[in-house]
Amino acid sequence: MNLPEQGRGWHRVLRVVCPGSFDPVTNGHFDIIGRAAGLYDEVTVAVLINEAKHSLFTVDERVEMLREVTSGYGNVRIDRFHGLLVDFCATNGITAVIKGLRAVSDFEYEMQMAQMNYRMAKVETLFMTTNPLYSFLSSSLVKEIAGYGGDISGLVPEAVLARLRDRLSEK
């Protein structure tokens, strides 16, 4: 009997990455990171360094906020990367990418990236369905609502809420 292709031959995924901009981390991200930490041995949350994209928080601030909110997990580490995600995976011995899927609208682009990452380096992507409590949530909506003085409590961790208030009051 022919066996299906087994990628590079990994039988178990031990070390995974949750990549993103995290500008800032939301409770939706936090939910995925926590669930990934329960499934895999080591979870690296990797913040993309993208100088071309305007962001509200610097990469250092985003890393700091992520460290603060994930400090309760012994198997989560926070890092930053630029360039290709598959190169970051190779350097760090990471075998799979974990992504949260909020709605069908996320799927098309996510599938394209997943297939491209597999095509380039046989890095797998595993999708987790977002907790329905947060399926409408995004960092950009949080920033927009907070910017107009709307209530975003319950949508981002407390530590992020305080920093968002400070940052927006500086403007």
101 lines the binding site for ligand PNS (CB under 6 A) = no
CB distance 118 to 89 below 8 Å:
no
Q: Which residue is nearest to ligand PNS (CB)?
A: 20
Closest approach of Cβ 83 to ligand PNS, in Å?
Answer: 7
Q: Which is nearer to ligand PNS, 48 or 152 (CB)?
A: 48
Closest CA to 45 of 27, 20, 14: 20
Q: Which of these is catalytic: 21, 29, 99, 143?
A: 29
**Contacting ligand PNS (CB under 6 A), which of 101, 113, 121, 168?**
113
Closest approach of Cβ 165 to ligand PNS, in Å?
Answer: 22
Run of H or E including 111: helix 104-121
Considering only residues 26-65, where is the footprint of ligand PNS by CB under 6 A?
48
Q: How far lies 163's CA from each of 23, 65, 168, in Å?
A: 12, 9, 8
Closest approach of Cβ 151 to ligand PNS, in Å?
Answer: 23
Q: How far apart are CA 110 and CA 62, in angstroms?
A: 23
Q: How far apart are CA 27 and CA 58, in angstroms?
A: 19
Q: Which is nearer to ligand PNS, 19 or 157 (CB)?
A: 19
117 lines the binding site for ligand PNS (CB under 6 A) = yes
Q: Which two tokens stand for residue 77?
A: 């580490």
71 classed as catalytic: no
Q: Report helix, strand or coil for 12.
A: coil
Q: Are strands 96-101 and 42-48 parallel, antiparallel or unpaired?
A: unpaired
**Contacting ligand PNS (CB under 6 A), which of 17, 19, 56, 125?**
19
Instruction: Kindly list the residues in this chain that would bind ligand PNS in the complex (CB under 6 A).
Output: 19-21, 48, 84-85, 113, 116-117
User: Catalytic residue numbers?
Assistant: 29, 53, 102, 139
